[in-house]
Amino acid sequence: MTLNTQINVRIFLSSLVILIIGCTITIWHAKNAIRDEIDSSVNMTTHIITCGLAQKSPNDAAWLNCFNSLKETRHLKIELLKPSGEVINLVKKDHQISRNQLSPQWFADLIGSRQAKTEKQLTTSIGEQFSLLIQADPLDETEEVWEESLGFFGTILLLTQLTFLSVYLALNKSIKSINSIVDALRLIETGNYRLKLPEFETTEYNSIAKAINHMIGELEKAQQENRALTQHSLEILETERKQLAQELHDELGQSLTAIKIMAITANRKESEIKPMTEAIAEICDNLIAVVRTLMHQLHPLVLSELGLKAALEDLITRWTGKQPALKISLDCPDALDLAEQKISIQVFRVIQECLTNVVRHADASKVTITLAIIEGAKNQISLSVKDNGKGCQAGQLKNGFGLLGMKERIQSLGGTLTIRTHPQQGMEISALIPYTQ
């Protein structure tokens, strides 16, 4: 069910409830008012006639003419009965007023008005005995209530229509704004981040539009970064493959060719075996070193065999051999050797990239690597790589492929990466990674 339909249905039901309550109260008041009016008219007329008969005789012509006017009072039907049962009609036939009932019969039945009737024994001043019979017809009051009810029903109907109209106009504009937002979200779902929502007159919708536009901008930026990172990763992969092929061709190919030649030569009787075997052994040692270097570049076997701490120590030894002036310290608990392989390899690659950036850009003399396990409601691995290099302003920090790669690695583990740097105060890269022991 649409929002417009829901609101219109609720307005209709609310108006219906108000109408029912109003009708109930109106009918209740109408019944009481009609009863009071009829009783009052009958009592007043009875009192007047009683006082008049105390002074006059019912046969007095002047007195009869005076009471003929009572036919205009709530359509009273007044009769005087002699002790013999003979009726003295006070109201002349030519004064009777014919009326048509305007209210429907079901309404009169719902009001439930009764005809008030009273009978009283009277004695005139000359001692005559009479019975006074007065009956009041409630039709007048019923007609008045019906007219008031029609006015009330018409007012409720008019207010309901005006409410529906105002709600429709307001919702129609709002729904157009909502449809624009929904269409934009559907385009975002397909990966189209170029569409921007316009400004809306309604403050709330305008705030939503600004938030969505900001989200679109961030998604487009992330998409561009991911594409660039993917392209860079593919380039690195091709470069590594090319280097690996070159190493295999230059080192393995030439060395194996030399071994083969020496083996063929050694097969001759006049050849000297000892120098050739020494050369073959030297070539094999060189091949072993080349293979180990290639294997370490592809994947550090120490990490799989001895754990994260040993792999990091081996990495630091290699960097120290290449950069003797750079002092690298490591603080890593032994418990991290039990970490999952996917966590260990990502942490290793992040630290490897950090050391590469320090050597290339930081001009640092000291690097501190700290790893710790934070126990609590959620166990986490805390990683910190801090150098004393030249640093830079945080706003001037460029998100190169190295930093993007580190962020992607940490985020793939469900963690967060933070970079803190200041000019001449070095740089610290820290990360928090969820850890299950």
pLDDT at 372 over 70: yes
Task: Tell me how far apart the alpha carbons of residues 232 and 238 are, in angstroms, rounded to a whole number.
Answer: 10
Q: Considering the domain boundaries, does residue 67 fall inside one?
A: yes
Q: Which of 391, 370, 366, 392 is nearest to 381 (CA)?
A: 370
* Statement: residue 328 has pLDDT above 90: yes
Q: Are 131 and 120 in contact (CB under 8 A)?
A: yes
Whether residue 91 is predicted with pLDDT greater than 50 in this model: the reply is: no
152-166, 357-371, 401-415 — most confident range: 357-371
| Residue that terminates a domain, selected from 298, 320, 339 | 298
CA angle 229, 230, 233 (to 5 degrees): 85
3-state secondary structure of 392: coil
pLDDT 10s digits, 26-50: 778 777 777 777 777 667 666 666 6
Q: Are 129 and 123 in contact (CB under 8 A)?
A: yes
Amino acid at 17: V
**How far is 369 from 342, CA to CA, in rounded Å?**
20
Average the pLDDT over 209-228 and give the result.
82
Distance CA 107, CA 118 (A): 26
Q: Do 9 and 156 belong to one domain? A: yes
Predicted pLDDT at 136: 67
Clarify whether residues 114 and 227 are in a common domain.
no
User: pLDDT tens-digit profile of 270-305?
Assistant: 656 777 777 777 878 777 777 777 776 676 777 878
Say whether both 153 and 274 belong to one domain.
no
Task: Evaluate whether residue 172 is within a structural domain.
Answer: no
Q: Are residues 7 and 140 in the same domain?
A: yes
| Domains of the chain: total | 3
The angle subtended at Cα 111 by Cα 34 and Cα 117, nearest 5°, is 50
- For residue 419, what are the CA distances in angstroms to 293, 389, 416, 422? 31, 14, 10, 10
Residues 20, 161: one domain? yes
Q: How confident is the model at residue 52 (pLDDT cuts 50, 70, 90)?
A: low
Cα-Cα-Cα-Cα dihedral sign, residues 399, 400, 403, 405: positive
Give yes or no: residues 269 and 122 share one domain. Answer: no
Are residues 404 and 286 both part of a single domain? no
User: CA 345 to CA 299: how far, in whole Å?
Assistant: 9
Final residue of a structural domain among 268, 298, 328:
298
Q: Mean pLDDT across the stretch 317-321?
A: 89
Instruction: Looking at the structure, tell me whether residues 274 and 350 fall in a common domain.
Output: no
Looking at the fold, whether 310 and 276 belong to one and the same domain comes out as no
Regarding whether 248 and 155 lie in a shared domain, the answer is no
Predicted confidence (pLDDT) at residue 63 exceeds the cutoff of 90: no
Most confident range, picked from 5-9, 85-89, 407-411: 407-411
351 located within any domain: yes
Q: Does 241 share its domain with 313? A: no
Q: Tell me the residue range of the domain where 242 lies.
A: 206-298
Q: Say yes or no to pLDDT of 249 above 70.
A: no
Res. 366 pLDDT band, cuts 50 70 90: very high
Q: What confidence score (pLDDT) does residue 168 get? A: 77
Residue 361 has pLDDT above 60, yes or no: yes
CA 260 to CA 267: how far, in whole Å? 11
CATH code, domain carrying 378: 3.30.565.10
The answer to the question of residue 287 being in a domain is yes
Residue with tokens 């996917």: 342
Q: How many CB atoms lie within 10 A of CB 96?
A: 11
Residue 198 domain flag: no
Task: State mean pLDDT over 203-229.
Answer: 82
Write down which residue in 275, 298, 321 finishes a domain: 298
Query: What's the pLDDT band for 93 if we cut at 50, 70, 90?
Result: very low
Task: Give the confidence band of 96 by pLDDT, cuts at 50, 70, 90.
Answer: very low
Q: Is pTM beyond 0.85 here?
A: no
Q: What is the pLDDT of residue 92?
A: 44
Question: Quick one: pLDDT at residue 318?
Answer: 87
pLDDT at 97: 42
414 compared with 261, residue with greater pLDDT? 414
- Quick one: which of 371, 356, 291, 368 has its CA closest to 318? 356
State whether 34 and 125 are in the same domain.
yes
Q: For residues 166-205, b (16+ Cβ closer than 10 Å) or e, as one string?
A: eeeeebeebeebeeebeebeeebeeeebeeebeebeeeeb
194 part of a folded domain: no
Residue 376 lies in a domain: yes
Mean pLDDT in the chain? 76
Evaluate whether residue 436 is within a structural domain: yes
Confidence of residue 313 (pLDDT cuts 50, 70, 90): very high
Q: Region 251-258: what's the mean pLDDT? A: 73
